[in-house]
């Protein structure tokens, strides 16, 4: 029985990695900036959704793999791939930890109202952390790694702040609605 649960978790992680890649690559609005690009996209939605369903570490891994591959395959984002791998993994970890260890979201899978509420809290906090960390990483990345002047790095970070905030709001709402709709179809006890 434990082997079947591992196969299901691995399969779901791969599915969510693919969804993260597709949502990041094909459902986005690129915003060109001086030292690359930033985007409004739905990749984060599937990262936190994965964390709600299969747990934080695997959800973070799905987001890191899916959006990391998206970065690597896109010349506009290839330099951001290491940052993406780190930030998406952290986002999944935070969301999963709050949802499963703090709020015990799996215990309320059959209650759509509580599922939505707990998903909204978990995703909102994880995305809030990303809204802070993404511009910070962007500033440090551009200033120290690529040698951008401090003013230019700060300007680029401000663009990341705006797009991260928009992504956070849309992804939090989308993932919470999807989770509330599908939570009762997953045997969370087997997945955690």
16-44 tens-digit pLDDT? 999 999 999 999 998 887 666 788 899 99
Per-residue pLDDT, averaged over 167-180, amounts to 97
What pLDDT score does 35 carry?
60
Q: How far apart are CA 63 and CA 115, in angstroms?
A: 21
Q: Which of 17, 118, 25 shows the shortest CA–CA distance to 60? A: 17
Q: How far apart are CA 75 and CA 81, in angstroms?
A: 11
What pLDDT score does 145 carry?
87
- The model's confidence at residue 57, banded by pLDDT at 50, 70 and 90, is very high
Q: What is the dihedral of CA 27, 19, 95, 160, to 10 degrees?
A: -30
Looking at the structure, give the CATH architecture of the domain made up of residues 2-191. Answer: Orthogonal Bundle (1.10)
124-159 tens-digit pLDDT? 999 999 999 999 998 998 899 888 899 988 988 888
Residue 169 vs residues 41, 121, 140, 150, 162: alpha-carbon distances, Å:
11, 12, 24, 28, 11
Q: Which residues pair with 33 in a beta bridge?
A: 36
| Runs of H (alpha helix) within the chain | 2-26, 43-54, 56-73, 81-96, 112-140, 150-182, 188-191
* pTM (global) more than 0.85: yes
- 32 or 12, greater pLDDT: 12
What pLDDT score does 4 carry?
81
Q: How far apart are CA 23 and CA 129, in angstroms?
A: 21
In the predicted structure, residue 166 carries a pLDDT above the cut 70: yes
End-to-end C-alpha distance for the chain, whole angstroms: 13
What pLDDT score does 34 carry?
65
In the predicted structure, residue 189 carries a pLDDT above the cut 60: no
| Domain extent listing, the chain | 2-191
């Amino acid at each position: 029985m434990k082997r079947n649960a591992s196969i299901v978790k691995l399969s779901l992680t791969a599915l969510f990695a693919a969804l993260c890649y597709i949502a990041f690559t094909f459902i986005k609005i690129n915003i060109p900036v001086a030292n690359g690009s930033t985007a409004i996209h739905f990749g984060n939605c599937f990262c936190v959704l994965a964390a709600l369903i299969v747990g934080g570490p695997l959800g973070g891994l799905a987001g890191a793999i899916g959006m990391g591959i998206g970065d690597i395959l896109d010349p506009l984002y290839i330099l951001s791939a290491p940052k993406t791998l780190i930030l998406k993994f952290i986002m999944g970890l935070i969301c999963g930890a709050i949802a499963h260890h703090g709020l015990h979201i799996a215990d309320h899978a059959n209650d759509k109202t509580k599922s939505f509420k707990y998903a909204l809290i978990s995703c909102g906090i994880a995305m809030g952390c990303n809204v802070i960390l993404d511009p910070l990483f962007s500033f440090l990345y551009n200033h120290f790694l690529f040698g951008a002047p401090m003013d230019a790095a700060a300007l680029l970070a401000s663009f990341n702040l705006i797009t991260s905030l928009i992504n956070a709001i849309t992804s939090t709402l989308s993932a919470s609605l999807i989770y509330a709709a599908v939570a009762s179809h997953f045997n969370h006890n087997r997945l955690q």
